[in-house]
Amino acid sequence: MASPPPPGYYVPATLFFDENEELDLDAIRSHLLRLAQGGVTGILVQGSNGEAQHLDRQERKKIIQFTRTTLDENGFNNVVLIAGTGAQSTRETKQLCFDAKEAGASYVLVLTPSTWPPQMTADNVIRFHRQVADAVNIPYMIYNFPVVTAGIDLDSDTIATLARHPNIVGVKLSCGQVGKLHRLASTFSPSEFAVFAGRSDIFLTSLLCGGSGVIGATVNVLPKSHGNLLQLYRESRLSEAFELQAKLGHADWAIQKLGGISGVKAIVCRNWEYGKPIVRGPLKPVAVESLVGNKYAETLQELISMEK
């Protein structure tokens, strides 16, 4: 029976591109190392923030290999590597899982297919995830993110049914539903099925509910702050933890309002001077200059100053 990833804070790492929308490996390397130096438990490549749907198969495999090699060559062998391997067919999803294993990932994270939402009944969702999990030789996690799956939102009964599969070891709940997280985390121990919040604004809540932590976009900007919150929780310094969580909640909202993926890149570019806020179309780029005087960008500055 496969084991879940360890509890902690994980980052769905953004990718960086040059002016021709080609992979900017120097910027990607700089970002990976800053995240690892920030103490992240693991890195998710090709999550939604990694623009997985905008990469071809060879690019996806290349980035997994590049990430694992970069971490290992710089002494971060202990950083867990998860690969997003969702696709619109069962066949392709299996192939991407095989690729991820071969390229050095330790876990895969799989979105539910969403081209035909009316066809994706609970029974069909369960059948899809079980068929892939049966076929692949790498521990398997479910990715529930209704925003990018045409509104398909797996309920706690469906996820709990899947959690009993011997190769399905966890879930990322980007739906942000605390009740769902609590139901799952109180049904399964973290050693048998890891339940991760998919948003930093409920990081502490997820820990209090017995969850395994967070896999959140804001970790791209504030890895050390997430590490500080986890430490405060583990030391039972809850008053301080709630104070920091409040700041992370405002930061999480600010990053959403600044333009999502490109906004994250613009913040990183402005504050750490690597990469460009280029995204592959049809996403819209956010200019670094647009952050000047922006109230949401200013919301982030206290935590960014602490981060530095």
Within a 10 A sphere around the Cβ of 160, how many other Cβ atoms? 16
Q: Which residues contact 214 (CB under 8 A, 6 or more apart)?
A: 9, 10, 196, 197, 198, 199, 200, 202, 203, 206, 226
Of all helices (H) and strands (E), which one includes residue 302? helix 301-307
Listed in sequence order, the residues at least 6 apart from 246 whose beta carbon sits closer than 8 Å to its beta carbon are none
Active site residue 274: no
Catalytic residue, chosen from 61, 94, 172, 180, is 172
Q: How far apart are CA 302 and CA 305, in angstroms?
A: 5
Question: CA 23 to CA 128: how far, in whole Å?
Answer: 31
Q: Is 261 annotated as a binding residue?
A: no
Q: At what angle do helices 238-257 and 223-234 cross, to 10 degrees?
A: 150
Whether 172 is catalytic: yes
CB 161 within 8 A of CB 126: yes
Q: Of 107, 140, 143, 233, which is the active-site residue?
A: 143
Vertex 124 angle, CA 123 and 127, to 5° = 90
Contact between residue 221 and residue 12 where contact means Cβ atoms under 8 Å apart:
no
Instruction: With H, G, I as helix, E, B as strand and everything else as coil, classify residue 242.
Output: helix
What are the residue numbers of the active site? 143, 172
Give the annotated binding-site residues for pyruvate: 215
Which residues contribute to the annotated binding site? 215
